[in-house]
């Protein structure tokens, strides 16, 4: 008889989540339940995005603390994958797991460079970029208190990827299961089944900058306005294409809905679900701070970073600039550029040391297995002794 495991999520479950959370692979060894706690933990998000939910047979929406406790107590889970953020409600779930002897596993496979910790003044100043400012401030205060609650914040096991994982105090005392980024799985699959094109194009790593659903999820104002950002972006692409002879292809964000707002792209096609393939065969990649730059790193494709006046006046400015510095790559403001910037982009190169360092820190530590991520996790879990 298979043992039961749970996936705890707080964003409306999607088909993409079904794949990236390894449900199919886990089901080979375990009975898997997906507990979607969004309507309880993030009611505003649930109200606006519940219609997007993907509900496989093993999916259960959880709307109250009592319903959550009843489910955890009734199903005798061996362990639970924790995809919840830090909050008083989420910590109450973690406390219940500990009381019931259900081992908690966190999955730190989406690592990216992080900015230095901001002082209190800068933290408060950043509230101007937030919606529901009072709710966000209260949330920050609660997190400061909860950060001291080690008994509920420390998982028994942590799936980790690059060496940057070792600097996360939340998992310092957890037993580590070394794997790699999900992007590395996709990269390996692309290499096995496709021939790279002739590099006669550039790729834009779309982030759905004006419409991303995480803005609602995280109480953040969009950092650009569509009526100003996209005309400037399309103008830059036209000028770059004329100067370089390289066509620009848009690699659409997986949660974008460009079919509903195609006029903003002025006739350009947004290609969804092919980001890794497109980057593998590109001459260069334009990006802001997308996690998909991992594909450019793995394929050793030059990166060029783009900003705008609005972006430079938002919390995202430092994220973009930091990545430009990490890769020693050009940074171009699409509101203020000329022929020189277009030519610099066209001849951008690869800093081999920076790419290798990024891979080691954030994608895959040297010496880990070159097999699918969830095969590694399932085999390692099977060898663990749970509380």
Q: Give domain limits for the chain.
A: 3-181+365-382, 185-363
Looking at the structure, give the CATH architecture of the domain made up of residues 3-181+365-382.
Answer: 3-Layer(aba) Sandwich (3.40)
Q: Give residue 33's pLDDT.
A: 97
Q: Give residue 255's pLDDT.
A: 82
Q: What are the distances in angstroms from CA 16 to CA 22, 331, 386?
A: 10, 31, 29
Q: Determine contact, residues 25/372, Cβ cutoff 8 Å.
A: yes
Q: 3-181+365-382 and 185-363: same fold? A: yes
Looking at the structure, give the CATH architecture of the domain made up of residues 185-363.
Answer: 3-Layer(aba) Sandwich (3.40)
Which parts of the chain sit beneath pLDDT 50? Answer: 115, 120, 124, 127, 150-152
- The 10 Å Cβ neighbour count of residue 55 is 12
- Burial code (b: 16+ CB inside 10 Å, e: under 16) for 226-258 equals eeebbebbbebbebbeebbebebbbbbbeebeb
Q: Is 247 helix (H, G, I), strand (E, B) or coil?
A: strand
pLDDT digits (tens, 9 = 90+) for 93-151: 999 999 999 999 999 876 666 645 555 455 545 545 555 555 555 555 666 655 555 44
Q: Give residue 114's pLDDT.
A: 60
Predicted TM-score of the model (pTM): 0.82
Q: Determine contact, residues 276/186, Cβ cutoff 8 Å.
A: yes
Distance CA 381, CA 204 (A): 38
pLDDT digits (tens, 9 = 90+) for 326-353: 999 999 999 999 999 998 899 999 999 9
Q: What are the distances in angstroms from CA 252 to CA 43, 55, 248, 278, 365?
A: 28, 24, 12, 11, 28
Token output for 365: 């530590």
Q: Give residue 150's pLDDT.
A: 45
Radius of gyration of the chain, Cα coordinates, nearest whole angstrom: 22
């Amino acid at each position: 008889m298979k043992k039961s495991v749970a996936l705890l999520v707080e964003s409306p479950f999607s088909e993409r989540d079904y794949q990236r959370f390894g449900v199919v692979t886990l089901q080979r060894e375990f009975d898997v339940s997906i507990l979607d706690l969004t309507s309880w933990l993030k009611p505003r998000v649930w109200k606006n995005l519940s219609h997007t939910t993907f509900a496989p047979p093993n999916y259960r929406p959880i709307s109250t603390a009592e319903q959550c406790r009843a489910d955890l107590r009734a199903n005798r889970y061996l362990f639970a994958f924790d995809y919840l953020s830090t909050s008083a409600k989420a910590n109450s779930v973690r406390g219940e797991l500990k009381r019931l002897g259900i081992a908690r596993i966190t999955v730190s496979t989406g690592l990216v460079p992080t900015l230095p910790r901001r002082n209190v003044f800068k933290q408060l100043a950043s509230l101007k970029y937030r919606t529901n400012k009072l709710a966000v401030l209260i949330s920050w205060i609660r997190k400061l208190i909860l950060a001291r609650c080690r008994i509920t914040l420390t998982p028994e096991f942590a799936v980790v990827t690059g060496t940057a994982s070792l600097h996360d105090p939340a998992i310092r005392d957890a037993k580590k299961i070394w794997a790699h980024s999900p992007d590395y799985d996709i990269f390996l699959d692309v290499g096995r089944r496709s021939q790279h094109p002739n590099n006669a194009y550039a790729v834009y790593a779309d982030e759905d900058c004006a419409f991303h659903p995480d803005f609602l999820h995280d109480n953040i104002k969009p950092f650009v306005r569509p009526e100003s950002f996209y005309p400037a972006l399309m103008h830059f692409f036209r000028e770059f294409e004329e100067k370089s002879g390289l066509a620009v292809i848009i690699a659409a964000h997986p949660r974008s809905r460009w079919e509903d707002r195609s006029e903003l792209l002025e006739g350009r096609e947004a290609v969804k679900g092919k980001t890794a393939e497109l980057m593998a065969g590109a001459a260069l990649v334009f990006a802001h701070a997308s996690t998909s730059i991992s594909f450019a790193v793995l394929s050793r494709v030059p990166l060029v970073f783009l900003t705008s006046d609005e972006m430079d006046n938002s919390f995202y400015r430092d994220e973009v600039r930091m990545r430009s510095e990490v890769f020693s790559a050009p940074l171009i403001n699409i509101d203020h550029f000329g022929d020189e910037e277009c030519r610099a982009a066209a001849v951008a190169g690869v800093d081999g040391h920076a790419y290798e360092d990024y891979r080691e820190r954030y994608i895959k530590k040297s010496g880990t297995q070159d097999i699918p991520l969830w095969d590694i996790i399932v085999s390692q879990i099977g060898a663990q002794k749970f509380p």
